[in-house]
Amino acid sequence: MSLLLGTIRQHIGKTSDQALHWKTSGSDVTGRKWLGKIWKFLQSYDLDDFSNLHLVPNCQPGKKDLLFKISTTFLLRSHPGYDELPISVCRALSYFDICVLDPLPKIIMAHDDISKFVYFPTVDNVIRMIEGIELNKNHGQLIQKFNKNGSNEEKREFAKFIGRHVLPNSTVAIVVSRLEIFKEKSFITPFYLFQ
């Protein structure tokens, strides 16, 4: 494990961050082939032993390629056999520091322990992620980040998604009640009602 950690530090970057910028172009040492070989090697090991290593890729067109610590909780945006999560819901979840990934390589998904860290794109798993916000020690900051930075479209789509799937008496309802996703309607009482 120390050899693997040393390779990551030397060729990718410091390992104290949750995510590292992954330089995949021109790097045979720590490129995509290297990562595939690492995951092939890891297939016979318990991922908990490697959970502090940056070995989960997030490669999206037009964005920097990143490697995340295995111990990060991930939600897949799409996966064969599951409905794809709406992109606006994924963006909304990112304000809560929930890492939403595009499909991962098959070699990673084949690991017996991957389900401890990577969740499939289901409504139940989105709800599980939102419930986790309340348990986060920085939940107030995360909610404020969503309220301040979320676009009107993201808030509207997130409200629709949540409204279709969340029960009023749940932990999620507590989190949702602090989100600025519902517009207030002003009600003016007609004067004649008070006579």
Percentage above 90 pLDDT, the chain: 36
From 76-90, 125-139, 159-173, the region with the lowest mean pLDDT: 159-173
Residue 122 sits at the vertex; the CA angle it makes with 119 and 128, to the nearest 5 degrees, is: 65
Q: Specify the pLDDT at position 60.
A: 67
- Distance linking the first and last C-alpha atoms of the chain: 80
- In this prediction, residue 6 carries a pLDDT of 63
Q: Are 157 and 88 in contact (CB under 8 A)?
A: yes
pLDDT score at 111: 96
Strand order in the sheet with 99-101: 99-101, 74-76, 118-119
The mean per-residue pLDDT over the stretch 118-147 comes to: 91
Residue 114 pLDDT level (bands cut at 50, 70, 90): very high
70 versus 2: the higher-pLDDT residue is 70
* Alpha carbon separation from 142 to 29, 58, 186 (Å, rounded): 37, 22, 28
What pLDDT does residue 171 have? 79
* Crossing angle (nearest 10°) for helices 152-165 and 87-94: 100
Q: Find where tokens 């499939």 sit.
A: 120
- What is the pLDDT averaged over residues 87-107? 91
Q: How far apart are CA 92 and CA 148, in angstroms?
A: 12
Q: Which of 41, 53, 55, 67 is nearest to 2 (CA)?
A: 53
pTM: 0.78
- The pLDDT > 70 percentage for the chain reads 76
Domains of the chain: which residue ranges?
A: 1-71, 73-100+118-181
Q: pLDDT class for 63, splitting at 50, 70, 90?
A: low
pLDDT of residue 17: 65
The helix-helix angle for 139-149 and 123-135 (nearest 10°) equals 120
The structure tokens listed for 11 are: 């060729």
